Amino acid sequence: MAKTQLNVRVDAATAETARERASEQGISVNRYIERLVQRDAGENGRAFVEAAADFMKQYESVFVEEFGREHEGPR
């Protein structure tokens, strides 16, 4: 996968914490930050799916009334 350079500015304490955590894990600061962003994106994705599932449960009767049971997904 191609890499893109991203420059960020953080305070000295945050930079030091990032270096320490990366070192503890035996990875570069770049990889550490990349993992944090990927984890955050995954959590947001899960939250979206959970919210969508809740919405569908809440409004299931409306969809069934409008489209009928033949359009229901697998149970």
What integer pLDDT is reported at residue 63 of this predicted model? 78
Query: Comparing 14 with 63, which gets the higher pLDDT?
Result: 14
Predicted model pTM:
0.57
Q: Where are the domains of the chain?
A: 12-71
Distance CA 22, CA 19 (A): 5
Q: Which of 51, 54, 14 is nearest to 36 (CA)?
A: 14
Q: How confident is the model over 21-34, as a mean pLDDT?
A: 95
Q: How confident is the model over 8-19, as a mean pLDDT?
A: 95
What integer pLDDT is reported at residue 3 of this predicted model? 86
